[in-house]
Structure 1
Amino acid sequence: MCLEKRWPAGGPEWAAVGVLLRDGKTLLIKRVQRAGDPWSGQVAFPGGRWKPGEDLLGTAVREVQEEVGVTPRGLVGVLEPHSPRNAPWLKVVPFIFTEWEGEVAPNPREVAEARWVSKAELSEEEWISGYAFVHRDWVIWGLTYRILKRLIDCGIL
């Protein structure tokens, strides 16, 4: 089964991303360039690290609000945790949402650009680091590629 209805509580080695789905598309962001950020300038789902006092659902909601200005609702489930290859100790849980309050408005301190992307708009290509999707001028690789691949394989996207 692809979607789970339960998720871990969170902790210092946990993070969450929000996968927003609308009309067969998902929202992806391109992170701003920032010194000291290992994922600076990369394409991602809105999300980030767990903070004390919240569960992972709270992390996903907070990070989506901070990065793209909407409040997720309509949780349909979560995917299994994934880990970035450059931080294998970090476990990232993708939360899948089909509803939210507000209009997407990227926070310019964190997000350079946001796009709604469908499966049909992605081309899969082989890269030096493995496989990646390409969407116009974006290369989507690493953890984001693996989460997108899982969404496609599960028939969610």
Structure 2
Amino acid sequence: MSSIADIAPAFIETAHRIVWATVASVDPQGRPRSRVLHPIWEFDGNRLVGWIGTAPTPVKVAHLEHTPFVSVNYWDAQQDIATAECNAELLTDDETCTRVWNLLKDGPEPVGYDPTMIPVWNEPTDETFVAMRLDPWRLRVFPGSMLLEGSGDILDWHA
């Protein structure tokens, strides 16, 4: 099994290249629900943290209040896969929301974007914008070359 320092750069490279992820949460009845979201990831050499600018919909809030975990899955046409199983938390304080807003706005292409392109978001302190923090306990990077050519390395890590 890989260390977080071994897998985080490969995970971020794959995630930031693919950009859009399927994020699944679980409702109070134990039923999964998926949505497509746009995470951005930071790694300080010891800890990987993901951030998503999102709307605090009643469904999303209820799911995370009941079960504060999500599965984040990236996939592309070359069959490259990156998965993060995470603790998830919606944060609404102005300082965190402003930091995440700027992280998204100033992020590298293609993962960075201007949050004002979302019609209901005018500024990071709008009640329609929250920051979802992702703290992974398991990561997997599975290059498509493993499926198509039998070459490459599958990287796994868990806390």
> Which protein has the bigger helix share?
2
Same fold per TM (> 0.5)?
no
Structure of higher CA gyration radius: 2
TM-score by length of 2: 0.30
TM-score under structure 1 normalisation?
A: 0.30
